[in-house]
Structures are given as structure tokens and as C-alpha cells.
Structure 1
Amino acid sequence: MSHQPLSHQVNPRDVLALDALLNQDEVLLRDTVRRFVGDRILPEVADWYERGTFPKEMALEFGRLGLLGMHLEGYGCAGTSATAYGLACLELEAGDSGARSFVSVQGSLAMFPIWAFGSEDQKQRWLPAMATGEAIGCFGLTEPDSGSDPSSMRTFAKQQPGGDWILNGTKMWITNGSVADVAVVWAGTDDGVRGFVVPTDTPGFSAPEIHRKVSLRASITSELVMDNVRLPADAVLPGARGMKGPLSCLNEARFGILFGACGAARACYEAALDYAGERVQFDRPISAFQLTQRKLVEMMVAVQRGTLVAMHLGRMKDAGTLATPHVSFGKMDNVAMAREVAGTARSVLGANGITLEYPVMRHMNNLESVYTYEGTNEIHTLILGQAITGQAAFS
């Protein structure tokens, strides 16, 4: 037993010294993405947010960093560990949820189904270009009347006597939709739900952009409209039948989100910590007041705890022991944590917290979307409820 005196020195940005849990390669990747976010995203993201856009050319920059499909093997993908992918998502979302969403949708929702379920021709055609950012992908599952219950989708593909497919339907809330080169669209067929690889220049396909958002503004969000879109017989993903295909893609994306939410929360906590040390009231910085210190401590503990959960789940995924309820645990709790931290940080910054001079209100608004997309908080609660009781509370 050690009897060395305890040190009173801690890093206020990493009180539990979580960096010690990372290996050298993970630290290098994390620091590389953090520098990129600081140099390329943070100086401009407030303007992107205010204008309601995300520059398409960022895809090439993400590609040069090896971030697109980074957790996949082959076809120009980096083949990193799941934990490394999660750390990249964490740093990207510390910049903005829109940046993490772009990388997450490209890699986990568009590239992953082609990689996991596609034919060799589909993989060779799309994955190398998507890994470099030369081709952008999107994922079409959610519909105007079908969100938490995707199995009730109305989009339908009918196979013709010659083998071609005719695809009709509408998808909603599609990240990257109007800038995508290819869409992975899930549709009902006479043989159950199937996935289709749809080049966006196919006649009958359109992707009108959704405007007037107050959340995820530094992100392109669209509808997908398929009006008698004719596809060749080999447009279908041969390895995916039923809802297991799209749901496995959602689990990939949720894994990135449970890391990413910690990045948004950390950015809010650090903004509040810095502000409280600089803002002077009653002749002293507000960080000297007990109520402010309580807020800062509660935020710090929440961020560190959420990051520990993310790291543990990352190690489980790398070990092959991660299950769907584990992903729901992380997505549900870490996003709820980040949402609360953002609100507390906003209160520390006072009126300054509502401006784009600080990142807090931007993260706060973004997290409202993150809280409900890729499975609402309620759905993840019920997934966990079924896991611990054995009783399904929903179909």
C-alpha cells in the first residue's frame, strides 16, 4: 500500500486525467483532429451557423485527414479502432454538431451499409471516392410520418419484369441530402425492407433543402423525394433484408454520437470556466462565488463521467462485446448530460451566453436535435427497459 501524500494539483480540463486511458496513437489522432477543429472550424462556424450552411468543400478536408469511414477496413478507409473513431467524433462535436454529423452520416450511415451489405461492384464504385470526400453520401430512412417507427415507412420499391426497380416515396430530415452524390434509401418491397444505392442524379430524384431551422444550422438538412425513380436490378444492397440492416447503421451512428455529445458538453464547460475566471462582479471574478463554483463543479463531473462512459463503450466495441442496449445507454445518458451542461453553462455566461461570440447557445440549440435524432431519448429508455426486464414496451 502506498503512503505517498496526495497531490492537490489537477487539470481543470481533465480532472480525472482521462488522457492516461489513451494510447500513443489515440492521443496523436485526438490531437490532430483537435488542432483541425481549432484551426479550420472554430474560426468560421459561427458564420456558418448564422448563414445556415455547411461548406461542401469541407468533405475534401475531412477526407484528407482520413476521417471519412475511418473505422472501416479497405477501399481507401483508414481502418482505425472504434475508440479512435469515437475520439474523432468527440473533437469534431466540440467544434460543432454539424461537423460531427457530416462525418458520422458519411461514414456510419452512408459508407457503412455499402461496406457491410453492398456488392463488390457497389463498394468499388462508391467507397474510395467517399473516403476522400470526392463523393458525398446520405441516408434515407426517416419519413414525414415515420420517425421512431421506421418499419411503418411508406416509401416502396417495386421490381419490374425486366429486373429494374421503380422507387417512390419521401424521406425527411436527411443530413447532406441536397449536396449528396449518392443516397442509401430504405424502402418496402414485396420481399420486405431493402436498401438501395441511389445516385442522386437519377431522373425523378430530388432533395429540396429544409430551411428556417434554429438547431443544427451549420449542417445541410433536406427532404428526399423519389418520383418513379428507375434503378437497375443491382442497385439493391444484396446483404440487407428487413429492419436489421438500417438499425445496424443507426447503431454505428449512435456510437459516434455518444462520444460527440461529450465534446459539445466539454466545449460548454470550458467556455463557462474561462468566462467565470475573467468576468468580474463585486470586485472579484464570478468564479470566486460559491454558486458559480457549484455550477462549474457539477458540469465538470458530468463531462468527465460521460467521457468515461464513452471510453468504456469504445473499448467494449473494440473487444467485440458491445450490444445494442450499451449503445442506447451511452446515447441516452450522454446526450441528456450534454443538454443539461449546455443550459448550466449558458446561465454562467449570463446575457453573453446567447450570442455567437461564445459557443454555448450554438451547442445548446444543436443538442436539441441530437437529443431526438438517431433514436429519441424515450426510445433508448425503452430499449434499456426491455434489456433489464425482458419485457418489450413497444413493437
Structure 2
Amino acid sequence: MPSYRRVITAVCVFAPLLYIYWQTILVPDTRKSFRSWNLAEKEDAFNDTLGLSKIFVINLPSRKDRRDAMSLAGAVSNLTFTWIDGISGGQVSDHDVPVRRGIHSSLGAKGSWRSHINALQSIIREDLTSALILEDDIDWDVRLKSQLRTFALASRTWLKESKFDKHRTVQLSLEASTDSEIYHAAYGDDWDVLWLGHCGADFPDSQSLISPLRIEVPGDETVPAPKHLKPHPFALNDKLGELYPPHTRVVHASSGNVCTLAYAVSRQGARKLLSQFDDHYDTQWDLMLQKWCEGEYAVETKSRLNSRIKDDRGAIHERGGSAPVCLTVQPPLFSHHYAKGGASNIQGQGGGYAKGTGTPYIRLSVQQNIDRLVAGARQGEMVDQLPDDGDTIWK
């Protein structure tokens, strides 16, 4: 056989073998890579439910505009929402609201209270480990998941340190985090409420019923400059900006929190809250939750420690007891979005007279960057609505 034919024969024999080797060994199987990535995403504790069992969004059926806006914001943030129909004040009868004598409240506040109680009942009924409860007019940063990774580490640190010296500030070391802690421990154990979205909070002092321990997160680029740290135009600037260097975030026990824009509740927290509030209504829901988190109801009911109540699953729980474990963060990770012409269904911060559009505390706002996110823009192409050298959103 001529030499050139032997060469051609060898090429014909070995070329297919080389191709098979190249495809199976040297080049990754893109389908296998996708499956592995998808599995990793599913196992990631901060995937579509942010390390919790579910994310509930309370939405009045009449406010389809808000549902549409939240649905889109959730989609571009890779979040999965479970909707809970909000209750209007007119749907709440006197029999449904166990109002104490002398207590008067708006219809909107009563409807909000009933809606949040229904969300808590869903946690118990579905036997969820935990859930995040959101109102439907809020906003968050496009970097929310990385923010919550940091918050989760701070939460675990607070829960550990609070067992020892409570009267100090701990500076968080981000290097202390491990994947196993993030994926499997999430926000730590034995907490009742994580108040992640509010319209303002105070730092607890040593005279209160709750721990004054603070976990400091310095150099957080997602935190606005001090001049931007105020929930509405008629409020004073937050003390956070006076007490700490710029771009510092602080995690501590909930104190003076107002607005239940976003808060996570554990299974034990939901049981405690339903046990406490099944037979009375004091005022609007955020102020009731504030008072509960600060341990005031525990003091009031100390004489009734032996009183017991069944939840809707038939389990019996003790009333009263020690102060709940509620953690919050300043500035908040979720905030009220002031849309053009928007208004709250209950009396909001600023009394409805707040001028300006945007979201306080949130720099790379999802709502303000929604068109860019839909178009697939990268993080570096997002608009910072609260730059250090820029104007505040309030007119």
C-alpha cells in the first residue's frame, strides 16, 4: 500500500477516536454542568426563599398594581413569592377583632392586623420552619442576597455572643463564615423574629428588658452615607449616622421598630405570637410587634404563666415567659418604596405628605432599576439612587 494511503487510513481511524476523546474528556458536558449548577442553586440557602421556608407577600386583591410590581421585582431578583390576600378594614367585624375596652383604631390598621395574623397562621398550618412576611409596597437592593449572607453571619454571632457578655459591641469578621454554616445554619437557632424591613429603630440600652449587644459591620458599601439615613422627610436623621463611621451596618435586638415592611418569623415565634394575640387587639400591628419584641407583654402576663392555649394544630403552649428573641438591622434591608402617586392603605410614615420618589436606605434599588434588570444589565450598570455626593430623595 502506498505511503499516502496508509496516512489517509490512519487519519480515518484515529480522527473519530480523537473527536470522542476531546468531547468526553477535554470539553465539559454543558448539560452536566447545567445540572450541577442547578443543584447547587437549589441547595443554596439564599436562593429563591432567602434561607427560609417561604416568602409570603400580603397584597389586597384590589391592589393588582402592587402585585404586578412585586411580581416583576421578585422575578428579576430570583425570588419565589407565596401570596396572601390582604384583608381590608371593612371585612373585619367587631367579633373578629378582640379589641380591649378604650382601644380605637383605623379600619386600615385593623385590616393590616388581620392580614398579618393570617400570615402567621399559615406558618403554623403548613408547619414551616420559618417564613419571611413582606408587605407589597417595598423595595430592596439588587445585592440583597449578599447582604443577607452578611446578616446571617451577624445573626449567628449575636445569638452566640448574647449568651455571654451582652454589654458590648462586636465587630463582625466576614472571614469567619463558612459554606456549611451558610447553607445549613442560615440565621442561627432560637430566634423568634428577624425584623429586616422597618421605618426606623432605636438602639436598646442597658435599662431595657432586652440585650444591648450590637454586632457592627464596618465598610459596607451598600449602606448610604449618613445624610441619606432617614425614613421620611419629617424624621430626624438616624442616630446610626452619628454613632458610627459612614457605611456601617449594625445588627441588634429590636427596639423601637416601626413598620412591619419585612420580617422573618420562626415556627416557635409564630406560635408565641398567635398565643399572645389571639384574644386582644391593642393598636396597629407594627406597634404590637414592637411591644412584644421588647418583652413588655411578657411582663404584663407574668401572673398568667400557667394559662395555656391551643394553636390551630391543637398544640398547647404556655403564655407569657421571658422576652422573645427579635433581631433587627440598621439601616434596614427592605424599605418602603415611594412610587409616583403611590399611597399606603394604612397611615404611613410621613402622613401621606412625603414628597419625592424612590426608596430610603436602598442604594441600588430594584424598583428604580427595574428596566435595566429586565434588559439583563449587569450590577455595574445599575443607578445608585443614594450616592455619597448626591442629593437625598426627599424634596
Q: What range describes the TM-score normalised by the shorter chain of this pair?
A: under 0.3
User: What TM-score does the superposition give when structure 1 sets the normalisation length?
Assistant: 0.28
Q: Which has the higher helix share?
A: 1
TM-score by length of 2: 0.28
Q: Which has the higher contact order (CA 8 A, sep 6+)?
A: 2
Structure exhibiting the larger radius of gyration computed from Cα positions = 2
